[in-house]
Amino acid sequence: MNSLMKFFALLLLFVFSPLLCSNQNYRFSGRNKLFVFGDSYADTGNTKTTDKGAWAFPYGITYPGKPSGRFSDGHISTDFLAKLLRIKLPVTYSKKDDVDMTRLQYGMSFAYGGTGVFDTMATYPNMTGQINLFEQLLGNVYSPSDLSSSVALVSVAGNDYLYFLSTRPLYEIGSFIEKVVNQIEVNLRRIQTLGIKKIAVPSLQPLGYIPHFANGSPIIKALVNDLVKHHNGLLQKLVAKLNNETNHSAFTIIDYYNTFLTVFNNKGEIPGNKNILLFDTPFIECFKIDLNEVKNSTLCDDPRAAFFWDGLHPTQEGWKSVYTVLRKNITAALTN
Ligand SMILES: *[C@@H]1O[C@H](CO)[C@@H](O)[C@H](O)[C@H]1NC(C)=O
Ligand SMILES: *[C@@H]1O[C@H](CO)[C@@H](O)[C@H](O)[C@H]1NC(C)=O
Ligand SMILES: *[C@@H]1O[C@H](CO)[C@@H](O)[C@H](O)[C@H]1NC(C)=O
Ligand SMILES: *[C@@H]1O[C@H](CO)[C@@H](O)[C@H](O)[C@H]1NC(C)=O
Ligand SMILES: *[C@@H]1O[C@H](CO)[C@@H](O)[C@H](O)[C@H]1NC(C)=O
């Protein structure tokens, strides 16, 4: 009798397991649009092709094999996050009129490389401007019920600090960090008010270890890492405050800071980490750009063995490692 029941139980499992599996595909069905705001860490192709930059060789050599407007050799954060959410890559705002309407169902990216919460460049919209672009689509492209299952990725502030460090006196940095986080608060509240349900904000990566700083003055490097810690502390408090106010976990921090360090150290403490390549020299970029003489720029043999692609941005393999470490936490935060 007992063994007969076991048999039936197994049979049921066998018959229904394809159903169980395909059900998993719908785990995010209540949350299947991704809207992306921010900078080159998230931009999948909004900048103008005439800008060169991410639209020039050798960007995109790993994927899709030619430049795609991503600031890397291949896939970046947005690609890996969309994959975790089990949706196709959201279309870029700049391509929205060139694609089939059905492509808009996965959300949209308003992120532009080089931008910040404040004005860091003249060409592209700051975060306020990016949210304006999103707002203009509400009511015609996206209805409120479309947003009942939406996630925002808000990748921001790196450029605000890079711009600050190259234009302002250092003693102003403390008050500037507060200004940046206050502006992030304004932006996050607005994104939520416009109807996005889950809002993921990456903490600032350890900027002192990006090749741009890592191989320079130790004093600047230390200062930059302190700046980042201060920023991340304020960001954490902000997110706790916003969640407490709204009385649910609408906001979540994606912990780039500790995850980048984990990948650099490759300590293997975090589940999933075992798949991660050991990067021999994580602080050296694969594509070394010579600003004085472009033809003197150099490209490493294998971008898959490098964490950093250029002086500022991770390679596809770098991003993959980061999202492998983060996978469980992101899934938990965006599904509850
Ligand atoms: C964002 O850009 C707009 C348009 O250029 C500008 O008016 C506004 O002051 C900027 N916002 C911030 C917070 O810098
Ligand atoms: C959450 O909000 C309540 C009421 O506004 C306040 O008393 C409490 O201190 C807040 N907690 C945190 C962690 O901010
Ligand atoms: C959230 O709402 C529940 C039920 O209304 C309440 O019991 C709880 O104390 C609230 N939590 C916070 C942090 O305000
Ligand atoms: C570029 O490389 C050539 C040959 O190695 C060298 O002579 C020249 O000085 C380099 N130019 C710059 C601007 O570094
Ligand atoms: C995941 O979340 C737990 C609990 O908040 C935290 O202790 C851990 O550091 C997080 N891991 C990563 C990789 O962010």
- pLDDT score of 184 more than 90: yes
Query: Does residue 120's CB lie within 6 angstroms of at least one atom of ligand 1?
Result: no
Cross-strand partners of 109: 36, 92
CA distances from 27 to 12, 16, 22, 98, 263 (A): 22, 17, 9, 30, 28
Is 75 marked active-site?
Answer: no
Closest atom, ligand 2, to C-alpha of 244: 1
The structure tokens listed for 171 are 């003693």
Which segment of 39-53, 135-149, 279-293 scores lowest on mean pLDDT? 279-293
| pLDDT at residue 175, rounded to an integer | 96
310 labelled catalytic: yes
> Among 27-41, 119-133, 259-273, 316-330, which stretch is predicted with the lowest mean pLDDT?
259-273
Query: For residue 215, what pLDDT band results from cuts at 50, 70 and 90?
Result: confident
In angstroms, the CA 305 to CA 308 distance is 9
Q: pLDDT tens for residues 300-313?
A: 999 998 999 999 99
pLDDT in tens, 84-96: 999 999 999 999 9
CA of 296 to the centre of ligand 4 (A): 6
Q: Is 313 a catalytic residue?
A: yes
Q: What does residue 292 show for φ and ψ, rounded to 5 degrees?
A: -75, -40
Ligand nearest to the CA of 238: 2
Q: Do the beta carbons of residue 155 and residue 235 sit within 8 Å?
A: no
Name all domains of the chain by residue range, CATH numbers in brackets.
28-270+316-334 (3.40.50.1110)
Length of the chain as a residue count: 336
Higher pLDDT, 35 or 2: 35
CB burial string 245-277: b at 16+ within 10 A, e below: eeeeebbbbbbbbebbebbbeeeeebeebeebe
Other Cβ atoms less than 10 A from the Cβ of 43: the count is 27
Q: How far is the CA of 330 from the centre of ligand 2 (A)?
A: 25
Atom in ligand 5 nearest the alpha carbon of residue 326:
13
Query: How much distance in Å is there from the Cα of 248 to the middle of ligand 3?
Result: 9
Q: Is a pLDDT exceeding 70 seen at residue 25?
A: no
Q: pLDDT tens-digit profile of 227-259?
A: 999 999 999 999 999 999 987 899 999 999 999
Q: Identify the band that residue 280 occupies on the pLDDT scale cut at 50, 70 and 90.
A: confident
Q: What is the pTM of this model?
A: 0.87
Report the pLDDT value the prediction gives residue 276, as an integer from 0 to 100: 56
Ligand 1 probe mutation, 128, 179, 180, 188, most atoms within 8 A of CB: 128
- Closest residue by Cα to atom 3, ligand 1, is 129
For ligand 4, the distance from its centroid to the CA atom of residue 297, given in whole angstroms, is 10
260: nearest Cα among 211, 222, 227: 211
Ligand nearest to the CA of 180: 1
Q: How far apart are CA 136 and CA 8, in angstroms?
A: 56
Query: Alpha helix locations (H) across the chain?
Result: 2-24, 77-84, 127-137, 158-167, 173-193, 211-214, 218-246, 256-265, 316-335
Residue 7 has pLDDT above 50, yes or no: no
Ligand 2 pocket, Cβ-based, cut-off 6 angstroms: 240-241, 244
290-301 residue pLDDT tens: 888 878 899 999
Phi/psi-derived region of residue 170, left when phi > 0, alpha when psi is between -120 and 50, beta in every other case: alpha
How far is it, in rounded angstroms, from Cα 2 to Cα 8?
10
In this predicted model, which residue has the larger pLDDT, 167 or 14? 167
Q: Which of 68, 72, 310, 321 is catalytic?
A: 310
Q: pLDDT averaged over the chain?
A: 87
CA of 221 to the centre of ligand 3 (A): 43
Determine the pLDDT at residue 246.
Answer: 86
Of 159-163, 181-185, 218-222, 328-332, which range is least confident?
Answer: 218-222
Ligand with smallest separation from the Cα of 115: 1
Virtual torsion, Cα 231, 233, 235, 238, nearest 10 deg: -140
Among 75, 212, 231, 313, which one carries the catalytic annotation? 313
- Among residues 39, 40, 77, 203, the one annotated as catalytic is 40
Ligand 3 pocket test target in 242, 246, 247 with most atoms within 8 Å of CB: 247
Q: Which residues contact 143 (CB under 8 A, 6 or more apart)?
A: none
